[in-house]
Amino acid sequence: MLSTMQDVQLTVTRILKHGMTIHGRSQVTTWTGEAEPHRRSFAEIGARAGRLAHALRDELGVQQDDRVATLMWNNAEHVEAYFAIPSMGAVLHTLNLRLPPEQLVFIVNHAADKVVIANGTLLPLLVPLLPHLPTIEHVVVAGPGDRSGLEGLNVRVHDYEELLAGRSEAYPWPELDERQAAAMCYTSGTTGDPKGVVYSHRSIYLHSMQVNMAESMGLTDADTTLVVVPQFHVNAWGLPHATFMTGINMLMPDRFLQPGPIADMIVAEQPTHAAAVPTIWQGLLAELSANPRDISCMKQVTIGGSACPPSLMEAYDRLGVRLCHAWGMTETSPLGTMAHPPAGLGADEEWPYRITQGRFPAGVEARLIGPGGDVLPWDGESAGELEVRGTWIAGSYYGGASGEPHRPEDKFSADGWLKTGDVGVISTDGYLTLTDRAKDVIKSGGEWISSVELENALMAHPEVAEAAVVAVPDDKWGERPLATVVLAEGATVDYNSLRSFLGESIAKWQLPERWALVPAVPKTSVGKFDKKVIRKQYADGELEVTLVEG
């Protein structure tokens, strides 16, 4: 028996049309670093998306399924591309501007991008790559920047505003299959070549609905979200699409990502929500300590990308800002969990839930797999690798020119679940607590030591600004922890004191013997601690390591 319901395709186009009409007065505000930021309504964004689609099709020859890359900051023009490209049937490919040049070359060639839209300020990054990008036929430049380096290259160069000028706002948006490609992002490639994840219109639509649910970010058109998380980082965690679905105003920082400008824009524009990785909030906290400002307008901050130290959450609590843990990855669109405590609890009762990664929404199924391949119980104690599946979870990677999807055995189970590479436990009521990445767990004398637990404990010390812990070889135990520490300005604490401080909350056998001071913890292109760099520094003898035993 079939239902009597209409069969309507879930597409990005529907989100665009809804946002520009029903929520046409909502705004995208782009920070300019000047007295007045740039403001554009959703209605204007939608009209300009139509003009951009006309330009891409009529002037640049973009056809259905062609890949159009963006090398852009978070700004209004990038939002226009977010909607125009997939709605016309092409595929949006956001490029991570923080990747090494060789990885960017690999990604563009693997995706076979035809067009790249770039902010003028990023041309110094793009121009040296273009001779190595044979599939790129057109470069569209948005905003000011030195374009002289583009002369003589085998590409046609266009100005973004000139392309849009004089074109019709009404684009004949095609009827699309909700399962066809809408956008693609590549993993950061911390091991091996980056892998392409291709999102469907359907997955983006359903993910946007989940982002807007109360158990997730739960924002409305009365809210303004400060979108610090880059638009190249898993579609800015789905916020550009989710905002058009419910009329949430967006505050976009463009290239002004330093703690000072972020504090300024919060004070000036009064956002009620923000989203970014922990390193952003650590930097902002240091800025506010040096130059106090009231940022309590932000009632909620979604924090993800890596584990948030509980001490950071406590510090923002004191500022009247609540940090909410989220977990996800490129392959999960990215929303996998959010750490809202159950209803009806007091502040002390909420805390054990807030420091988890959170609960799984209805669209994500989860299981834990033990070392022997068995499925482990949700008892809050049994630790295994997290596997997930669901309506916005990747089932394969993009196969490149071959067109064949790629499903490596170390990333997908035989029955189709995504192997996340994260190790953790799940409570009886569905709260996930990650203890480490599988590759970062310290295997010492047959027991596991969580590098994340050690890092969080270290960063709770008032004289520690950052700390990263990695496994290093040990003749007796196989592996032992190495603690690399960035001290706060003016700190006088020594290694023995730090080890004693750790001993107040960490079992003695887990305490690091090897310690090193570093000026900064190396980070990946999306702000996570880059532990492979630390391991290499140790192996190459580049760290000044001190042995401390108690």
Q: What is the CATH number of the domain that holds 164?
A: 3.40.50.12780
pLDDT for the residue 475? 86
Q: Which of 94, 187, 330, 337 is catalytic?
A: 187
Supply the pLDDT for residue 173.
98
In a domain, 121, yes or no: yes
Determine contact, residues 326/215, Cβ cutoff 8 Å.
no
**Is 32 part of any domain?**
yes
In a domain, 149, yes or no: yes
Q: Is 448 a catalytic residue?
A: yes
Contacts 24+ apart (CB under 8 A), 16-19: 16/46, 16/49, 16/83, 16/87, 16/244, 17/46, 17/173, 18/244, 18/245, 19/45, 19/46, 19/243, 19/244, 19/245, 19/247
| Three-state secondary structure call for residue 12 | helix
Identify the H or E element spanning 313: helix 310-318
Among residues 299, 439, 443, 536, the one annotated as catalytic is: 443
37 in any annotated domain = yes
Kindly report the CATH number assigned to the domain that includes residue 512: 3.30.300.30
Among 187, 184, 279, 268, CA closest to 228: 279
Q: Which of 406, 405, 439, 404 is nearest to 420 (CA)?
A: 439
187 is catalytic: yes
Contact 457, 510 (CB under 8 A): no
User: Which residue out of 190, 448, 479, 523 is catalytically annotated?
Assistant: 448
Tell me if 18 is assigned to some domain: yes
* End residue of a domain, out of 201, 217, 244: 201
pLDDT along the chain (550 residues), means of 10: 97 98 98 94 98 98 98 98 98 94 95 98 98 98 96 96 97 98 86 87 98 96 97 96 98 97 98 94 95 97 89 96 96 97 96 96 96 93 95 95 83 96 95 87 81 91 94 90 94 93 90 95 85 93 90
Choose the final residue of a domain: 168, 201, 234: 201
Residue written as token pair 């058009």: 244
**Among 252, 291, 314, 249, CA closest to 456:** 314
| Backbone dihedral region for residue 284 (phi beyond 0: left; psi -120 to 50: alpha; all else: beta) | alpha
Number of H helices and E strands in the chain, helices first, is 16, 27
530, 524 Cβ separation under 8 angstroms: yes
Cβ-based neighbour number of residue 163 at 10 Å = 22
Q: Would 246 be classed as within a structural domain?
A: no
Residue 118 domain boundaries: 8-201
User: Is residue 370, in this structure, part of any structural domain at all?
Assistant: no
* Contact call for residues 387 and 412 (beta carbons, < 8 A): no
Q: Which of 178, 331, 385, 466 is catalytic?
A: 331
Instruction: Among 154, 172, 201, give the residue marking a domain's end.
Output: 201
| pLDDT computed for residue 478 by the predictor | 86
CB atoms within 10 A of CB 327: 27
DSSP state of 55: I
The length of the chain in residues reads 550
The pLDDT score that the predictor gives to residue 307 is 80
C-alpha 30/C-alpha 46 separation (Å) is 16
Residue 8 is classified by DSSP as -
Q: Is 331 one of the catalytic residues?
A: yes
* Domain count across the chain: 2
Q: What pLDDT does 29 receive? A: 98
Residue 495 within a domain: yes
